[in-house]
Structure 1
Amino acid sequence: MLDSHSSFQERIIKILSNMSSSSDICPRIVSLECIPKLIPFFGDSTLAGKCAFILKNLCDVEEARVSIAETSGCIASVTALLETGSHEDQENAVTVLLSLCSQRVQYCQWVMEEGVIPALVDISINGNEKGRVGALELLRLLRDIEYAEDRDCSGSDIDASKDTTDLPKEKKSSKTSGFFAKIPMFSKKKK
């Protein structure tokens, strides 16, 4: 039904949104390969937020995170909501991106390629409470990730619960640390 261009698509998205709130149903939604079918609906401002909400709910399923990351245009669609969505839409988008980035270094790189930093900084200051907390957490995670351009990091797992502030300085990427150093909340205090 998501593939058809019927007048029921808005209702279908709303139903799918409600169904995705059940953790028991989420694996079934993922197995039906609905994630790629949601991408066109991000172009509709009335449905984009619902789609982000669905993805946020599905992120508890590993197969969903892989599908979100590997579906062409999905990360770009989610990151677009960081700038154009309501506070709730931004919060959902941040949650999706945080879920991805806490799993694999390559996902962090893909998210960074979308130029999310300015929008995340804005949300960390002007978003709703959950959005601000999530944006700050995502900014810290992106700051601390090692970006090894000369090797394949696609299988690297990240322990999101580990405090990565103790990473050796030489391990941090000069590509990202230069940008983050310009943001007061991430710059190191001079002694």
Structure 2
Amino acid sequence: MLRVHDSPESNESALLALLNLAVKDETNKIKIVEAGALEPIIGFLKSQNSNLQEYATASLLTLSASPINKPVISAYGAIPLLVEILRYGSSQAKVEALKALSNLSTYTDNVSIILATKPIPPIVDLLKTCKKSSKTAEKCCALIESLMEFDEGRTALTSEEGGVLAVVEVLENGSVHSREYAVGALLTMCESDRCKYREPILKEGVIPGLLELTVQGTPKSQTKAQTLLRLLRDSPYPRSELQPDTVENIVCNIISQIDGDEQSGKAKKMLAEMVQVSMEQSLRHLQQRALVCTPSDLSINSCASEVSLK
């Protein structure tokens, strides 16, 4: 059905047929790979025909969603070709290639293979230009977070102009999952070498976004944001009992070191808003507890009070 030497039109039709069979069908994804379709599909990644290249990339994206297929696709040499498309392909092909790489990166052994292709520059380029709340940004940050486990990946991100800033922008304006990946990437960097990465992260104005995450993020994002805030302050060690290790104190410490009135002012405003939200949440919690208290509870408590007074 798929033949490299057939006309582009017939191969495009064949790829579309395979896509229709594979979408939302795990069994078909596996059977298509077992039937030997990978070799011609990967061959089409090298095609000069942009449509054929896009269809082949989309096919790999769909097939790579299957956990069983991930190591097989990598073994066929697809990863370097996908990164090449991420660099030089059409706009649509770049997005499909990114998503396929993100799928493949969830198989641990594939991450080092992806890293060897030096993918950070094209990932950052795509992240800079896409909408920060988009699925594309989410996949970019998911892939970046995986690559931050390696020193080469961390160095590449900080060396790429606007690389850390692009991640910070997603942390501020991304979707729920995107923000979680973004804060995870920055936290991994700082945990690996605080002295090396603290300043590059701080100078991109990360504090307001982290403050917001500590209040409005998912439980996982909140924990990561609080941990990162502790690492970003002047001293990573807990304070004494006289200076509690609260988020407010941590941030005040960081704000005092931020250069530039605009960044410092924005961070202070966010801190004030965070404290206000925290107070409102505490008040709502108290009100809810009061509503739960039944008349019998009140009478018992009242009796107990009277007994204690006697």
TM, length-normalised to structure 2: 0.48
Residue 119 of structure 1 deviates from its aligned partner by 0.9
Give the residue type in structure 2 aligned to 1:23.
T
SS at the partner of 1:2?
A: helix
1:1-191 equivalences under 5 Å are: 1-6=85-90, 7-42=92-127, 43-45=129-131, 46=134, 47-102=136-191, 103-145=193-235, 164-165=237-238, 176=254, 178=256, 183=271
Deviations 1:53-99 (A, max 9, x none): 00111222221122122222110100001111011111100011111
Listed as ranges, the gaps of 5+ residues in structure 2 are 1-84, 244-251, 259-267, 275-310
Paired residues, number = 164
Q: Which amino acid aligns with 1:134?
A: K
- Secondary structure (helix, strand or coil) at the match of 1:165 reads coil
Runs of 4+ residues over 2 Å off in structure 1: 174-180, 182-185
CA–CA separation in structure 1 for the residues paired with 2:172 and 2:239: 32
Secondary structure in structure 2 of the residue aligned to 1:100: helix
Which structure is larger by alpha-carbon Rg, 1 or 2?
A: 2
In structure 2, distance between residues paired with 1:72 and 1:21? 27
C-alpha RMSD of matched pairs (Å)? 2.7
CA contact (8 A) 1:144 1:165 kept: no
- Residues 104 and 60 of structure 1: is their aligned pair in 2 closer, same or farther, counting only changes over 3 Å? same
In the TM superposition, what whole-angstrom CA distance separates every residue of 1:30-64 from its partner, at most 9, and x where no partner exists?
11000111112112123111100001112222211
Distance in 2 of aligned mates of 1:144 and 1:130: 24
Shift of 1:175: 7.1
CA distance in 1, matches of 2:162, 2:141: 13
Q: Give the helix-richer structure, 1 or 2.
A: 2
Q: What is the match of residue 154 of structure 1?
A: none
Question: In 2, distance between residues paired with 1:125 and 1:48?
Answer: 22
Q: Which amino acid aligns with 1:39?
A: V
CA drift at 1:5: 3.8
> TM-score, normalising length from structure 1?
0.76
Q: CA deviation at 1:129?
A: 0.9
Query: Once the two structures are aligned, what percentage of the paired residues are identical?
Result: 30
Instruction: State the shift of 1:107 in Å.
Output: 1.2
CA contact (8 A) 1:56 1:96 kept: yes
List gaps (5 residues or longer) in structure 1: 146-162, 186-191
Cα distance between partner residues in 1 of 2:98 and 2:116: 17
Match of 2:294 in 1: none
